[in-house]
Amino acid sequence: MIKITADSTCDLSPSFLESNNITLVPLYVLLGERSYRDGVDIMPDEIFTYVEKNKALAKTAAVNVHDYAKIFAELSPQYEAVIHISLGSAFSSSHQNAKLAAQEFPNVYVIDSGNLSSGSGHLVYEAAQMAAQKLEPQEICQKLEELVPKIDASFVIDRLDYLHKGGRCSGLEAFGANLLRIKPCIEVIDGKMTVGKKYRGSFENCLKKYVKDRLTSQIDIDYSRIFITHTVRSPEIVAMVRELIQEYADFAEIIETDAGCTISSHCGPNTLGILYKRKSKKSSPIS
């Protein structure tokens, strides 16, 4: 048997993780001087409450080499191989730390997802399917690496104060965007976050435009699966996004997941993305 592990940032549902025997390795969330394990000791709502009360952002920290080594040491004797899918190396040193830890275990393989949230989750999902089909570890790794550049990951952000306080946009940009009711689309291109199209209006109306843009401006979408991943508390808004997806495209699976602590820490409440696969490499943002 092959064991699939992943960083906690993959934002897959507990039921999927349990049914596919996937082990998550938690990153760390720092609130002031206290450290918490992502998804174990802290959840996104607690981060939002902390930020509102203290007017200070949460910070995130990578998994260290020791944590990875401990998990690999436990799992590698039990399985033919362990395939770990990490948060993209441009976002965190977690990938490098996992690679360092894996050097001690000949049957542990580490894949750089080049992505975050359920962008990485697509790779975990595919890895679980291939492991169930009993493919060889090397073949699974090869197919995953071929898929990495084909993941289309993007989010629309309602509030810019999290990005602003985290140093990801200037005060003038944040003030101007809020004044003009601009909601930016953040995309992952070549393993890095970039600002794509900027929408204007209410969050709900911006999402309508965003979903239409993502699903009608491309001809190479793989319609096998799409994730709706979010920090939105309104079920009506999420239901609207699902209906729009069904209107514009015919995906075999539409999977809703909650964004975890990493997306929540950096993007804040009312963030929503649709993440899917493409048949070819994604190379530029949608304008």
- At 150-167, the pLDDT tens digits run 999 999 999 877 776 655
Say what the pLDDT of residue 195 is: 84
Say what the pLDDT of residue 266 is: 86
Confidence of residue 178 (pLDDT cuts 50, 70, 90): low
- In angstroms, the CA 180 to CA 171 distance is 14
Q: Is residue 49 part of a domain?
A: no
The whole domain housing 190 covers 153-278
Mean pLDDT over each residue of the chain, to the nearest integer:
92
> Do residues 195 and 155 touch, judged by C-beta distance below 8 A?
no
Say what the pLDDT of residue 37 is: 95
> Do residues 47 and 29 touch, judged by C-beta distance below 8 A?
yes
Q: How many domains does the chain have?
A: 2
CA atoms within 13 A on the CB side of 145: 10
Say what the pLDDT of residue 170 is: 47
Same domain? 92 vs 183: no
Q: Is residue 223 part of a domain?
A: yes
Closest CA to 245 of 262, 228, 230, 224: 228
Q: Say whether pLDDT at 172 is over 90.
A: no
Helices then strands, each counted (H, E), the chain:
11, 14
- At 41-78, the pLDDT tens digits run 999 999 999 999 998 889 999 999 999 999 999 999 99
Q: What percentage of the chain reaches a pLDDT higher than 70?
A: 92
Closest CA to 166 of 93, 58, 91: 58
CATH number of domain containing 124:
3.40.50.10170
Instruction: Name the domain boundary from 129, 148, 167.
Output: 148
Q: Say whether pLDDT at 274 is over 50.
A: yes
Same domain? 109 vs 7: yes
pTM of the model: 0.93
Confidence of residue 174 (pLDDT cuts 50, 70, 90): low
